Structure 1
């Protein structure tokens, strides 16, 4: 094997397949800026990125009364989201914290898309009675914006939003570990502060971290 071939092979092996979901429902937002920054840096570094923008996705947010036994058919945008979750090696999510939780449309996407048979297997249960996760072997990064500083999220709210995302949503279907990068206060940040945040996100994107 020549040195050039070895270097090319090493580069291919070090690149990752990434699904990037901007979980802010607005068409313009700090979250979208962070998502686009991550995407540009990751693609420049040679990683393959499939981008989903919640504001552009069209689907019924209501899970409905059918339950897991008779779920609504997935709309094209949700089907594409699930396919790319299955494809990806690394999951990147940007989301604001609203009223201590994620936006309703993002929660609706998870309600509708994370279904048995695709993301977890109810026919195979653990000793604790939990279904077998089907999206294993993937890692995740959440870019979390809020007006509450991270120290207050930990001291006053026990990092509830992080536990929900890492354990009860992503971890439940096998995506772990989930690492968080927080940006606060996020409502009216100065442009210099946004620039600093984007530099941090560029570094994460370049490493597919």
Structure 2
């Protein structure tokens, strides 16, 4: 397998988390197999999450951490994101990354809309893997909630800008998971990293 360019985003805002450990396992295995990895950790990123009143015509200038993230997103062939499921969605700071960084002219082209009026995606040719931690088991997430968070991430964020397909690996229930279970999960993340999958 030829080396792939991989962007890893830890979407948990805490300094330490299962999400961050999953990212580390993925990164270590990917780099061990010769893949090129750039890592971003939202717990370390400094930026204003609020898009504010600027609008698309006068957006806020991107802070250095967001500019670096967007540049690496454009560079990458494969995007890996780890995030916890909080109140049926993703953490606010992670949503803030997408609100601020995925802008017209870099992520999508409003001047080139399709017959439905949707702008042309500008980040095509990339795939994604989401490592989702949750206390809701994957089966119940599908039966009771219709996989809403997965649709939100894969269709309304990543797919909207052209990153697809998005594949998910769910680790649940995550709170107070025994160490043996966590080790199994970390090994699974490493297995994905080794294959850049």
User: TM-score category by the smaller chain?
Assistant: over 0.9
* 1:58-207 mapped onto 2 (5 Å cutoff): 58-207=46-195
Higher helix proportion (structure 1 or 2): 1
C-alpha distance in structure 1 between counterparts of 2:64 and 2:54, whole Å:
19
Deviations 1:101-145 (A, max 9, x none): 000000011000000000000010001110000000000000000
RMSD, aligned α-carbons: 0.6
Say whether 1:46 aligns with 2:34. yes
- SS of the residue 2:98 aligns to: helix
Q: Which runs of 5+ in 2 are unaligned?
A: none
Q: Which runs of 5+ in 1 are unaligned?
A: 1-10
C-alpha distance in structure 1 between counterparts of 2:119 and 2:13, whole Å:
30
Query: TM-score scaled to structure 1, two decimals?
Result: 0.93
- Tell me how far 1:187 sits from its aligned partner: 1.0
- How many pairs were matched up? 197
- Higher Rg of the two aligned structures: 1
- Tell me how far 1:67 sits from its aligned partner: 1.1
- Tell me how far 1:32 sits from its aligned partner: 0.4
- SS of the residue 2:143 aligns to: helix
C-alpha distance in structure 2 between counterparts of 1:100 and 1:188, whole Å:
19
- SS of the residue 1:66 aligns to: coil
- SS of the residue 1:94 aligns to: strand
C-alpha distance in structure 2 between counterparts of 1:131 and 1:28, whole Å:
37
C-alpha distance in structure 1 between counterparts of 2:176 and 2:57, whole Å:
45
Query: TM-score scaled to structure 2, two decimals?
Result: 0.99
Deviations 1:73-101 (A, max 9, x none): 00000000000010000000000000000
Moved over 2 A (4+): none
